[in-house]
């Protein structure tokens, strides 16, 4: 069995913060004149990276046989409080839609198989659970925080990602919408600008915690180019843009991003042509 390194302690603190922020944006209101919430799916979703792993019973688990079903790929860990808190809701959801939806539990950052088995037994988890390899983690963007759930449609494409503890009603609404079942919500689409897969962070026009409102369109493009070209030095192995998207509390990427915005703004000011000096008007000749 390949050993999986544990997350650094600072990142574990981020996990606790991330799920609180996630709760605030689980269902987006349409406005004062509407009672319907909004659910959002990626407009042109990427295929979900497939994998072949063994669950705790030794059975093969992969995405290919699940085409035609909605899949919730749930990355979690036994030590993660929010992960444990959402298990009962996932169990109920699996029972309710067992014929048309499949949840897969992917255990991250825990190589103690017995500890995982104990949790599965204690919670009576009714969906397959497998230990996740580093290759699978990287295929899905590194899994910077837990729990993380990827929502995969019936065509095997990733249409949404949720980081943190979410209301089970949100998952159920998304599942029903993807199964063409009635829902009390408005469905909207969006372009993935790094929220789902890191490779699309270069599409982002705004980044969490980065104020570019004072920049011209040309300066903003230059700043975004720098933010996508320079790596963050916090140890995350991501670009500054990716770190801002995946780890908004990171002070390293936030401070460096602010410095880049200032550099671009200052360079733009220096590049402005000086106003020509107007010569005094000649006095009329007598």
- Active-site residues, by number, are 80, 83
Using DSSP, state whether 232 is helix, strand or coil: coil
**Cβ proximity of 113 and 131 under 8 Å:** yes
Count CA within 13 A, CB hemisphere, residue 54: 6
Cα gap 284→286, rounded to integer Å: 6
CA–CA separation, 69 vs 182, rounded Å? 17
Tokens of 128: 């397959």
Which residues make beta-bridge pairs with 150? 73, 161
CA distance 156 to 94: 18
Which residue is it, tokens 């199964």? Answer: 179
């Amino acid at each position: 069995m390949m050993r999986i390194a544990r997350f650094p302690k600072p990142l574990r603190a981020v996990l606790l913060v991330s799920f609180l922020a996630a709760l605030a944006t689980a269902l987006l209101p349409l406005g004062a004149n509407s009672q319907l919430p909004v659910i959002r799916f990626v407009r042109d979703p990427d295929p979900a990276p497939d994998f072949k792993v063994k669950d705790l019973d030794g059975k093969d688990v992969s995405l290919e046989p699940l085409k035609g079903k909605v899949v919730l790929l749930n990355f979690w860990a036994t030590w993660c409080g929010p992960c444990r808190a959402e298990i009962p809701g996932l169990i109920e959801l699996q029972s309710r839609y067992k014929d048309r939806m499949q949840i897969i539990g992917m255990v991250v950052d825990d190589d103690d198989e017995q500890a995982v088995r104990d949790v599965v037994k204690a919670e009576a988890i009714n969906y397959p659970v497998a230990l996740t390899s580093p290759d699978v983690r990287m295929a899905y963007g590194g899994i910077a925080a837990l729990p993380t759930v990827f929502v995969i449609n019936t065509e095997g494409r990733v249409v949404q990602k949720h980081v943190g503890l979410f209301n089970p009603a949100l998952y159920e609404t998304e599942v029903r919408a993807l199964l063409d079942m009635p829902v009390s919500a408005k469905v909207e689409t969006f372009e993935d600008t790094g929220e789902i897969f890191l490779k699309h962070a270069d599409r982002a026009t705004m980044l969490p915690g980065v104020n570019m409102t004072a920049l011209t369109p040309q300066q903003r493009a230059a700043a975004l180019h720098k933010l996508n070209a320079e790596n963050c030095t916090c140890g995350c192995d991501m670009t500054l843009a990716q770190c801002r998207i995946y780890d908004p509390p990171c002070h390293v990427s936030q401070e460096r991003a602010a410095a880049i915005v200032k550099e671009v703004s200052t360079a733009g000011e220096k590049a402005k042509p000086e106003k020509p000096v107007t010569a005094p008007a000649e006095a009329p000749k007598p």
